[in-house]
Amino acid sequence: MDISVVIPLLNEEESLPELISWISRVMQENNYSYELILVDDGSKDGSWKVIGELSADNSNIKAIRLKRNYGKSAALNSGFEIAGGEVVITMDADLQDSPDEIPGLYKMIMDEGYDLVSGWKKKRHDPIGKTIPSKFFNRITRMMSGIRLHDFNCGLKAYKLDLVKSIEVYGEMHRYIPVIAKWAGFTNIGEKVVQHQERKYGKTKFGIERFIKGFLDLVSITFVTRFAKKPMHFFGSIGTLFFFGGGVISLWIIGEKVFGLAKRDVVDQPLFYLALLAMIIGVQLFLSGFLAEMISGNSHDRNKYTIKERIGHQLPGGE
């Protein structure tokens, strides 16, 4: 199969018929074999009923209905689990992502060898209250991740199949799939300018709280991807720095008193107590790293890694 299109949706009953028809037309024009994976993330309108009606006339449709609204990350992850196309393309269901971009994204993966291609909505049809914060967070993400993308949160992306099978998207991490992919070893990440449509039906699911969550998620994913398998490197390094820094200052203050250079008693100097506090914090951080290392050592995916190629053998089951 050439393409799997994964579409998470929430209350999009009006846009679904037009979207499915549009995607089907693009696929037929380009002679792609494909599947449409629709993930209903707890819609309260008639979206699931519409999906049922559309699937009766289109055998390429597969659908998942989540019991409640778990969020876009969970919806994407559930779609990735059943995807089987050589290229997996994600897009939103509100018609703001154009299916006409699919052939270009597919070629960049198959012909140009990218692991992931992210859409860039260079010209956006969104209110300024959404575009300015988005530019700010994209810049921060570029700085922290080292990935040169302009629009990390664009819903229109294309992936190699083995990429989506090698990562897990949870919480609100869908914004940072390129970051997760990079730390999983998929470093060939590209970008394509894509058309951004004006919203035709329904209303945006955008809220200011997404930026607070987005920043916290960025801090979280940066820490987890770098130190989840080696927490002692993080906690131990900082703990050692605090402990030895506090120790050196304490010894200096005590030495001054011993050699008669200090006019005040050691216990009368606030710096001495700050040095002791630094030593205590250092020990606590070191112990935190030790405990985290023990927990990480018992994790089922302690040695999880991604194989790029094989020669002369296959895993059981033909994987």
What pLDDT was estimated at residue 236?
Answer: 84
Residues 274 and 288 in one domain: yes
What pLDDT was estimated at residue 303?
Answer: 47
Residues 282 and 149 in one domain: no
In sequence order, what DSSP letters do the residues of the chain get, joined into one string? --EEEEEEESS-TTTHHHHHHHHHHHHHHTT--EEEEEEE-S-SSSHHHHHHHHHHH-TTEEEEE-SS---HHHHHHHHHHH--SSEEEE--SSS-B-GGGHHHHHHHHHTT--SEEEEE-SS--S-HHHHHHHHHHHHHHHHHH----S-TT-S-EEEEHHHHTT----TTGGGGHHHHHHHTT---EEEEE--BPPP-SS-----THHHHHHHHHHHHHHHHHHHTT-HHHHHHHHHHHHHHHHHHHHHHHHHHHHTT--SS-GGG-HHHHHHHHHHHHHHHHHHHHHHHHHHHHT-TTTT-------SS---TT--
Domain span including residue 243: 231-297
Q: Which residues of 83-94 are buried (b: 16+ CB within 10 A; e: fewer)?
A: bebebbbbbbbb
Whether residue 292 lies inside any domain: the answer is: yes
| Burial of 259: CB neighbours in 10 Å, binned 0-12, 13-18, 19+ | exposed
Whether residue 309 lies inside any domain: the answer is: no
Looking at the 3D structure of the chain, how many domains does it have?
A: 2
Residues 44 and 30 in one domain: yes
What pLDDT was estimated at residue 122?
Answer: 85
Whether residue 129 lies inside any domain: the answer is: yes
Whether residue 314 lies inside any domain: the answer is: no
d(CA 256, CA 179): 51
Q: How many CA atoms, within 13 angstroms, populate the side-chain half-sphere of residue 107? A: 7
Whether residue 302 lies inside any domain: the answer is: no
Q: Which residue has the tokens 């200011």?
A: 208
Residues 111 and 26 in one domain: yes
Q: Which of 90, 91, 105, 88 is nearest to 30 (CA)?
A: 105
Distance set, CA 252 to CA 170, 243, 247, 259, 279 (Å) = 49, 14, 9, 11, 14
End of a domain among 227, 243, 259? 227
Whether residue 68 lies inside any domain: the answer is: yes
Residues 205 and 248 in one domain: no
Asked if 131 and 124 count as a contact pair (C-beta separation under 8 A), the reply is yes
Whether residue 216 lies inside any domain: the answer is: yes
**Amino acid symbol at 224:** V
Residues 120 and 143 in one domain: yes
Residues 289 and 150 in one domain: no
Residues 202 and 287 in one domain: no
**CATH number for the domain including 157?**
3.90.550.10
What pLDDT was estimated at residue 296?
Answer: 62
Residues 93 and 45 in one domain: yes
Q: What is the pLDDT along the chain (319 residues), one digit of tens a residue?
A: 999 999 999 999 999 999 999 999 999 999 999 999 999 999 999 999 999 999 999 999 999 999 999 989 999 999 999 999 999 999 999 999 999 999 999 999 999 999 999 999 888 766 666 667 778 778 888 887 889 899 988 999 999 999 999 998 887 788 889 988 998 889 999 999 998 877 776 666 555 566 666 666 667 666 766 666 677 778 888 999 999 999 999 999 888 888 877 777 877 888 989 999 999 999 999 888 888 777 766 655 544 545 555 555 555 544 4
Residues 55 and 101 in one domain: yes
pTM: 0.73
Residues 187 and 222 in one domain: yes
Q: Strands 157-160, 87-90: parallel, antiparallel or unpaired by DSSP?
A: antiparallel
Residues 134 and 106 in one domain: yes
What pLDDT was estimated at residue 146?
Answer: 85
Whether residue 307 lies inside any domain: the answer is: no
End of a domain among 208, 227, 246? 227
End of a domain among 178, 200, 227? 227
